[in-house]
């Protein structure tokens, strides 16, 4: 049921157009009488037709009895059936952690929720919603909603009282349970994971929320719960309001990856509260969120560690731009997405909106030249645009209005750093924030990698370095250096493995990924089983594809390992990830 208000006279004629999908079948559309007014409760049946729109969806044309007037309220009822589309994921029991029961979840970002329900599937429109979900015995439903209530007959009722864009509506049904980890937070997971989830996250979420509120203003969503998805979930996290979805890879067993959740928490202000009006300006969501994440991280973990994490981000941006070519049109902050044409908004996902966007926000902070003044600006920005969808022009216009002295200086048109150039010219960011405070953590990692790459190992110098106190990103940085220097001289990797069980036997997914890459690059056959185990344990795209690329680019033995592992794990992977792997292994033309 859609409750609509006409914004202006004659805007759409006597027709309503909604986003939908060929997999969604509509059996009836009707106009309901005004609440409490006269008329048939079943409503007046309306002609409805589905027409082609784009590769990612169709348009639902609904004929209204007459053109609505400005301010008029319409209530529309649409009977439909959905479930086969790309936004609804059905997992067989073997794709879950418990392996006993099936599971379903929806993933709306960017333009997939039109296959879940007919709507205005654009981030420029925000609305509240409610839902009633009936599920079979032995299953629980959860949604991205501010309130949830279980009624009789295994029926769950949800309400989202704050306006959100369509892509943030999400539903999960599975064998899931919850445990409290803070005054306004609980973790949700399959029963076999709940203890690990509680142990890893007890008390930490509240600390991040409090710092976020101090920096960016009140947290408006009530609860902040985390749902640990089945291992086949292909993403790191999805910031559905009140209920962030995350990969179970974050359960490292030693709290070493909890800072990943800071990114999703930061979306509570940037993305969910202030939202990009179009997917062509996705950096407004992600660039600001990266900046916010690193502000919170600086408060909690200090500047050196945050700079080290940002350096890994910059390296990913460099890899991405080298792979695509700097002048690729997607390497702009403002990407042109032609409505109804071949460019799919989902294709705008890459490192550019995140890391180049972060550089632009950092450049704005650099222009202000005072961190607490810029923090105050961010708080004013959130307050000014909360619950709205905006463009980069709104953001930059507000920045210049907030700092009139900068506007007077013409900071938007400094040669080489023009705002227009940031937005519309592809390539490497014109300004890079100073990450040198991270050097105190990078230098020891670089020196240690040098020692391990030597022809004859200086064990005295190596043993003098104690890596037990190093946090995740320092170890990741060390392993990235070792990987760059690989293959190492004969026997070195074997000794490294023995010397640092903290690395070679790690449960932490970021460390496991890099260790597997090192094992493959150095043909350390004795540890090929670790590569297989890691790929059996999870299906996150960011970990799975690089390992298949490394195996396929290696020896006969690693190619055989790739084929054997894929044939065993394919059924537990997300269909998109299956297709990407098939493409790498030359098994099929990917879609």
Residues in binding site for a peptide? 107-109, 234-239, 540-542
**Matching residue, tokens 């399959």:** 190
Peptide bond into 110 cis (omega under 30): yes
Interatomic CA distance for residues 151 and 161, integer angstroms: 19
Check if the beta carbon of residue 465 is closer than 8 Å to that of residue 427.
no
Active site includes 264? yes
DSSP 69-88: PTT-EEEEEEEEE--SSTTE
Which phi and psi (to 5°) does residue 86 adopt?
A: -70, -20
Cα 56 from Cα 75, distance rounded (Å): 27
C-alpha to C-alpha distance for 427 and 408, rounded to whole angstroms: 28
Binding residues for Zn(2+): 263, 267, 286
Extract the tokens encoding 185: 């937070």
- Residues 551/536, Cβ–Cβ less than 8 Å: no
Which position has the token pair 């040198």?
436
Does 195 participate in catalysis according to the annotation?
A: no
Nearest Cα neighbor of 539 from 93, 83, 232 is: 232
Give alpha helix (H) positions in 217-329: 260-266, 283-301, 303-324
One DSSP character per residue, 418-466 reads -HHHHHHS-SS-S-----GGGHHHHHHHHHHHHHHTSSS--HHHHHT--
Q: How many CA atoms lie within 13 A of 61 on its CB side?
A: 10
441 and 477 in contact (C-beta within 8 Å)?
A: yes
Residue numbers in the known binding site are: 107-109, 234-239, 263, 267, 286, 540-542
Q: Which of 105, 167, 305, 354 is catalytic?
A: 354
Burial class (CB in 10 A: 0-12, 13-18, 19+), 177: middle
Q: Determine the Cα–Cα distance for residues 285 and 301; give it in Å rounded to an integer.
A: 24
The CA-based angle 277-279-285, given to 5 degrees, is 70
Cα separation, 57 vs 19, whole angstroms: 7
Q: Which of 264, 281, 309, 355 is catalytic?
A: 264
Question: Which of 506, 518, 512 is closest to 538 using CA atoms?
Answer: 512
Q: What is the DSSP letter of 374?
A: H
Q: What does the block give as tokens for 482?
A: 């070792």
- Dihedral over Cα of 498, 503, 509, 514: its sign: negative
Residue 219 sits at the vertex; the CA angle it makes with 217 and 222, to the nearest 5 degrees, is 160
Q: List the catalytic residues.
A: 264, 354
């Amino acid at each position: 049921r859609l409750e609509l208000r006409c914004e202006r006279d004659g805007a759409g004629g006597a027709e309503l157009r909604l986003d939908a999908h060929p997999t969604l079948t509509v059996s009836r559309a009707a106009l309901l009488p005004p609440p409490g007014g006269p008329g048939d409760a079943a409503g007046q049946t309306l002609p409805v037709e589905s027409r082609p729109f784009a590769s990612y969806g169709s348009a639902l044309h609904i004929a209204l009895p007459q053109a609505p007037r400005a301010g008029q309220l319409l209530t529309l009822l649409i009977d439909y059936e959905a479930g086969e589309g790309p936004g609804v994921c059905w997992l067989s029991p073997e794709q879950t952690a418990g392996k006993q029961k099936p599971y379903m979840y929806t993933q709306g970002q960017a333009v997939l929720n039109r296959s879940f329900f007919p709507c205005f599937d654009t981030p420029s429109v925000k609305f509240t919603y409610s839902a009633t979900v009936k599920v079979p015995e032995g299953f629980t439903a959860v949604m991205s909603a501010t309130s949830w209530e279980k009624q009789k007959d295994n029926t769950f009722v949800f309400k989202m009282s704050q306006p959100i864009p369509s892509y943030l509506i999400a539903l999960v049904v599975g064998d899931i349970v919850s445990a409290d980890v803070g005054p306004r937070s609980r973790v949700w997971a399959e029963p076999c994971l709940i203890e690990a989830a509680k142990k890893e996250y007890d008390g930490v979420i509240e600390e991040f929320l409090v710092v976020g509120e101090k920096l960016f203003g009140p947290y408006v969503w009530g609860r902040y719960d985390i749902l640990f998805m089945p291992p086949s979930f292909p993403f790191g996290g999805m910031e559905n309001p009140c209920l962030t979805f995350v990969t179970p890879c974050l359960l490292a067993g030693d709290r070493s990856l909890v800072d990943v959740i800071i990114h999703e928490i930061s979306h509570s202000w940037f993305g969910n509260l202030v939202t990009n009006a179009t997917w062509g300006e996705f950096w407004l969501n992600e660039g600001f969120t990266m900046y916010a994440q690193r502000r919170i991280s600086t408060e909690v973990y200090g500047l050196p560690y945050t700079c080290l994490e940002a350096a890994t981000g910059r390296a990913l941006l460099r890899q991405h731009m080298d792979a695509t070519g700097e002048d690729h049109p997607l390497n702009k902050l403002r990407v042109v997405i032609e409505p109804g044409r071949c460019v799919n908004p989902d294709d705008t996902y890459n490192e550019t909106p995140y890391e180049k966007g972060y550089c632009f926000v950092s450049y704005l902070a650099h222009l202000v030249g005072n961190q607490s003044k810029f923090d105050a600006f961010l708080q004013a920005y959130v307050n000014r645009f909360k619950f709205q969808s905006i463009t980069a022009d709104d953001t930059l216009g507000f920045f210049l209005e907030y700092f009139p002295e900068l506007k007077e200086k013409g900071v938007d048109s400094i040669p080489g750093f023009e705002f227009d150039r940031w937005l519309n010219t592809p390539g490497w960011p014109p300004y890079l924030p100073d990450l040198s405070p991270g050097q105190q953590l990078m230098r020891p990692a670089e020196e240690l990698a040098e020692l391990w790459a030597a022809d004859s190992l200086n064990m005295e110098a190596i043993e003098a370095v104690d890596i037990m106190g190093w946090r995740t990103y320092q170890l990741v940085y060390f392993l990235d250096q070792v990987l760059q220097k690989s293959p190492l001289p004969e026997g070195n990797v074997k000794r490294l493995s023995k010397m640092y069980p903290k690395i070679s036997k790690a449960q932490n997914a970021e460390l496991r990924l890099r260790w597997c890459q090192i094992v493959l690059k150095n043909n350390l056959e004795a540890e090929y089983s670790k590569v297989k185990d890691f790929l059996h344990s999870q299906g996150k795209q960011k970990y799975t594809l690089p390992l298949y690329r490394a195996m396929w680019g290696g020896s006969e033995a690693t190619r055989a390992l790739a084929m054997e592992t894929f044939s065993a794990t394919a059924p537990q992977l997300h269909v998109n990830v299956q297709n990407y792997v098939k493409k790498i292994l030359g098994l099929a033309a990917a879609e």
